[in-house]
A and B are shown apart, each in its own frame.
Chain A
Amino acid sequence: MIHIVTAENIEQYRGVMEDAYRLRHAVFVEEMHWEDLRRADGREIDQFDDGRALHMLYIEDGRLLGYQRMLPSMRPHILSEVLPSLCEGDFPVGPHIWEWTRYCVSPGHRDRGRMLSPVGNMLLSAIVEWGLQSGVSKIIIEMNPIWLLRLVQLHFRVTPLGIPQQMGKDSIVAVTAAFDRRTLARLRETRGDDREVIVESPSLARAANRALA
């Protein structure tokens, strides 16, 4: 299930956060060859992993199987600092908009037969659950356009911020994806499970406010 980790409770998650940085390195550097992120110690940590980042960890039987990070749009984030060319108009900014980054699932728990894996579904569900509870209704995503259709089918209202561009051998597009209760219902229906996925978090509203303070 999903644990939300912020500056408030990160001490309790010291060990599993180490696993998270290593999973990020394994996926984004070793596997996807984002060489800019390579680090000698095998832990992928960047300038956005500060006190304002919100980490979502999928933990099962004490093992970290999935991870993603949310960054507030009111502070420097990847679209504004690293990939501004993907956004052709004004940056989407507001307390209700956060950026979704570093989504990764441990090998062996990924999409099978190219369907969205249960772990992937729960990570997405966590964003929507957290968003509905803390006043966040829209996420910024930089991704391969192949995932667009799935998001639309999951009842995210997806709006491109630019035209897809070629970066290295990958195609990438920036979008905003707005969500509401329908999105959550659709995710649960697709997963075949109505239960909430977030089991642990610092007070949600407080976490969101802190990040923006």
Chain B
Amino acid sequence: MSRRALDDTLACISAVDRATSPDAISDALLDVVRPFGFTRLLAGIIPTPGMTMQQQVANVVLHRWPEQWSQRYFSQDYLFNDPTIQRVTSSTEPFLWSEIRPAYHTDRSARRIMDEAREFKLGFGFTVPMLTLDGQSAGLSVASDRGELPPHLRGGLQLLGVYSFARAISLSQAPAAPVKLTVREIDVLQWIAEGKTDWEISKILHVSEHLVDKMARQIRTKLGATNRIQAVAQALRQRIIQ
């Protein structure tokens, strides 16, 4: 049983180490946790208080959260009241979100964040806290609307979390091939980073909403990102937008 768990873990670690993009890392990890119901993934360095929304987003290294939830989460500045974030910065042990409920059930804003996450089908989650070489807290979470995590998998998932995160930051720090975006695309991406919807951007730039959507897709392709949050994080790190 245990030996099998180790072999599965080692196989996934080597897949993660071969991955050359954040998406490939996410796929390798999600393949392992999907049988237990987990379909969503987020990893990043924990922002420090006072960071702007853009800086918070730039700290994300793996993003497979529902996009609408991320947009809401970052634009509403939920991060600093998020009880999972608070736990990551204060403890080194991985945890199921259900296990920290007693710690936040009297905190109304924390409860609201967890309740809203549930509405985006992120009701059941498992988070691995980490510590980077620079002394920053970091975390990797997998989640779904419901699920279970057999106790013997916790340790394996902790290892996978660390290797996935390590690979993701080493990719994000490697000098990426410079990406050329048009002035218009940079405009659109900048507004996306500000949390504007396609409709709002179409009004600001006097173009159709359809065109904004099309450009957002092009931007994602150019940046090699599967979703907008990842595209914004990538562009911020490469200083394409501010």
Contact = CB atoms under 8 A, between A and B. Distances in A.
Contact of A152 (B93, B152, B158, B162): B162
B131 A150 contact: yes
B135 A162 contact: no
Given A88-B2, A152-B162, A163-B9, 5 more contacts: A150-B132, A152-B163, A163-B2, A171-B92, A171-B155
B81 to A, nearest CB: 23
B133 to A, nearest CB: 4
A133 interface: no
A159 to B, nearest CB: 7
29 contacts: A113-B135, A114-B131, A114-B135, A115-B135, A116-B135, A144-B92, A145-B158, A145-B159, A145-B162, A146-B92, A148-B159, A148-B162, A149-B132, A149-B138, A149-B165, A149-B166, A152-B166, A153-B132, A153-B170, A159-B10, A160-B9, A163-B6, A163-B9, A163-B159, A164-B154, A164-B155, A164-B159, A165-B155, A173-B155
Contacts of A89: 3, 6
Residue of B9, B130, B169 with most partner-chain A CB within 10 A: B130
Residue of B135, B136, B162 with most partner-chain A CB within 10 A: B162
B10 A153 contact: no
Contact of A163 (B130, B138, B156): B156
B11 interface: no
A152 B162 CA distance: 9
Interface in A137-175: 144-150, 152-154, 159-160, 162-165, 171, 173
